[in-house]
Amino acid sequence: MNKSVQEKICEISKKLLTHGLNHGATGNVSVRIDNDFYITPSGMATEWMEAKDVVKCSLLIDEEEVSRMTKKPSSEWHFHQQVYQTRSDVNAIVHTHSPYASAISVLRKNIPAFHYMIALFGGSEVRCSAYEIFGSRELSQEIIKTLGPLKACLIANHGAVLVSNDLENAFYLAQELEHLAHQYIELLKIGSLTLLSEDEMTEVLLKFKSYGPSSQAQD
C-alpha cells in the first residue's frame, strides 16, 4: 500500500528525531505536490505528530491566510515556499537543528572542501547565511541567497537546510551533512586543514554526475 505524502513526512520527521538530527519540536519537513506544499505543523513535538497534523499550503499562501488557519504550518513556511517558487528542481526540504551543523552555524563558518564528499551538496563548500530571526521573510531571503543552486546551506546561529528532488534523498543529505560537520569540528580542534583545490573539486563534481545507481556518491 502506497503511503500518503503526509505519512511520508511524519516518517522522515521521526527518523530525523531518532537519528539525533532534530529534537522535540525543532526543525521542519515539507514536500511539494503540484501547486501546493505539505509541511510539518507549528510547535508540535515530532514524537506525537500524525499524518493528520501535516498542513497543506498553496505555493501562493501569505501571512493573512496563515493567520486565519486553525492548524498552522511551521513558522518557517516562508523559506519552504520561496525555495519551491525559485527552484523547480526541488520537491522536498528538510530543516535540521542537528548538533554539529548547528555548532558550525554558530561559528558562522562555511564548511570548506576538506573532504571530497562536500561535492554531494553540489559545490565546493556548504555556505553559511547571515543571521536573521527565525520565521521571517528576511531569513527566507538569506536562505535563498546562500543556498543558490546547491543542495545545502547552514543558517547562522540556527541550523541547516537540505533540499532535493525527493524526501528520502533530502534525509540522506541531512545525515551526510551532520557526519561531515562532525568531522570538520574535530579537525578544527587539531588546527590546520589541507583543503582540496578548486580543480580537484571540479573533477569530483564531474565524477559525481555519473557515480552510483542514483547519482548519489557513496564510498
- Whose CA is closest to 20, among 81, 101, 84, 77? 101
Amino acid symbol at 211: Y
Q: Which residues, 6 or more positions from 141, have their beta carbon under 8 angstroms from its beta carbon? A: 82, 132
Strand arrangement, sheet containing 36-39: 55-58, 36-39, 28-33, 92-96, 159-164, 152-155
What's the CA gap between 151 and 117, in Å, rounded? 13
| Residue located via cell numbers 527518523 | 15
3-state secondary structure of 73: strand
| Residue located via cell numbers 542537528 | 98
Beta bridge partners of 211: none
Residue positions annotated with a catalytic role: 76
Q: Which residues, 6 or more positions from 135, have their beta carbon under 8 angstroms from its beta carbon? A: 75, 76, 78
- Whose CA is closest to 77, among 96, 95, 101, 98? 95
What's the CA gap between 213 and 37, in Å, rounded? 28
